[in-house]
Amino acid sequence: TPGTKPGDWYLPMPGELYQIYANKTAINEKRTAIKGSGFSESREYWSSREYSSDTEYRVSLGNGGIYGYGKNGTNCVLGFLALEV
């Protein structure tokens, strides 16, 4: 993400969240081994991108859908940690 340096936490863009959906089987195997559970497919996650002044994009890890949703709604947040590779 532009302006992000290694060690910064940030809210991902919709495409980054979609990549978790697209690779969730492999990610969930590793996450379950470390944490004891994978990502919930019944949850949707906020992204950092606005749809409009009162709406944000969110991504479903159940079907990969990207939706605009009111900022007053309840969804999960998944912070990303920037790394230098």
pLDDT digits (tens, 9 = 90+) for 50-69: 888 888 898 998 899 999 88
Residues of the chain with confidence (pLDDT) below 50: none
The pLDDT value given to residue 1: 62
CA distance 67 to 29: 26
Question: Cα–Cα–Cα angle for 30, 35, 79, nearest 5°?
Answer: 85
CA distance 59 to 75: 10
The pLDDT value given to residue 22: 94
pTM: 0.77
Share of the chain above pLDDT 90, in %: 16
